[in-house]
Structure 1
Amino acid sequence: MALIETGPGSTVPMLQARLAARGLTPADVSEVFLTHIHLDHAGAAGHLARHGATIYAHHVGLPHLSDPARLLASARRIYGDDMDALWGEMHPVPDDQLVALNDGDTVPLGGEPLTALDTPGHASHHMSYVLGDVCFTGDVGGVRMPEERHVELPLAPPEIDLDAWRESLAALRAAADRHGLTHLAPTHFGLYDDLPAHFERLEAAIETADDWAARKLPGWDDGDEALQDAVTQWMRSRASDHGVDGDAWDRYERANPSWMAALGLRRYWTTQTA
């Protein structure tokens, strides 16, 4: 059995329960494919490796799975005292259970190839996966709640690169044509069949973020709290324009916190102008 994404260490009990509901255990997971190594996507990889799974990931991210100390230290600087409660424990993955992926690599799964697409933008070590007529887009495909049309960009630091994101969107569109894709499966959240419309909303989100950063961030000297408030207001206004408000906005905010987007946009702009 193959699994795409593991979730964080804090969700291992839920993962085990969901597997058990299907008559399975973690030992039945033989291959794991990570879109990238951030804790909400890869934190439980070491747990599944302890049960025998082989872990596939972008070649740039593999060293951080083998030794996650730097990854965890970076995350702790962001999440502070909430770190353990949010993400739980992350175990290292033995080197002999890690497989590096490059753009276009294929892995046979049940007689059908899974194809890896190098799709940076959210992170330099980001892969999307094509299997049959579905593309698993990780974070580069945006954040979208079930039954909603609104697509947000997950702008968490430290590696946001909007130019690379544009190129990855072009790669997703090309893959959709080449493979005859009918569905997108963003990790956050759901399965969608409106590919052209989703791609258009994702493109608009990229352009809007770049425009907002270019207008607001040069010379910003009002402090971190004011920046977070400004980003929250901008993101909430954009969501409202697409019919997302009230409880729906709260769900987007929990999944993709605007305070984290503020940190990511500031880091992006600083890097762009360095």
Structure 2
Amino acid sequence: IWSDEPEDLLLRDPDKDKYQFDRNRFARAVRCAEESRAALVGNWRELGWKKRKKEIEQIVYLDEDEGKKVFVLKFQRWLEQRQLGDCLQRDQGRDPPSSDGKPPRAFLYYRYTPPCFPENAQMRPDGHWATAYHGTWFYGLRSILHHGVLLESTDESAGHEFWLSGLYVTQNLYTANWYARAQNVFNDGVFHRAIMEVKYDPAKRKKYRERGGGQIVVSSDGVAITGVIIQPNSPPNKGEERSEEWNDRLEIIPGRNLEEHQEQKDPPRDASRSR
């Protein structure tokens, strides 16, 4: 899964060539990701709740594989536009069965290779770390892939949903699938969901709760992203949060801070044109 990054990007044991966790690099990645996240999560949730409507039907294709092929092409273009074209590699052999989903629909698996950005955490799991999943919004996917970290939920006023501060993962794919919000990513009327596959350090676990589908609360420094699982053509069910159109202003842009997000959201009026 992992690429051969330049030696100056990773700290290694010169004798054992063993990966060593770089606390400073991780902290920088989290800081950059937090600054980019700003207050956008609250905007997603506000719009998602306002749009809570009836169930939307799947798009019907003549060939059952046609929808997958269309998504793969559009998603690759989406990644390349964000300089992330090489960090995800399609691995059809690892597609989870549709029966593992909630809703039970087809999945597409992508292996994750951390890009060589200076603000990427370059996290790697140890052999004893366990597999888990985290459902997310497509609006945050660019930042997640760019920085290589999943941020903890700590602020209810910013739209974070939690019962204990921390990062929420689950070993049940159907639970993460439910938390993955359906979004009309390409504004073509087709909804998709994104799930992060991760490895987590059991020693970093804060709490486990069976209620809610088997939720595991961990600290983000004990989680490494290993893949992305997409559920294409997966529209929202009745009452689900959703994003019915793609709005560039709501995407988390790496390197953009809170003030820049606000300027993008509410551009200043041109006084010369006011009446």
On whether the aligned pair clears a TM of 0.5, the verdict is no
Structure having the higher strand fraction is 2
Relative contact order (C-alpha < 8 Å, sep 6+): which is higher?
A: 2
TM-score category, normalised to shorter length: under 0.3
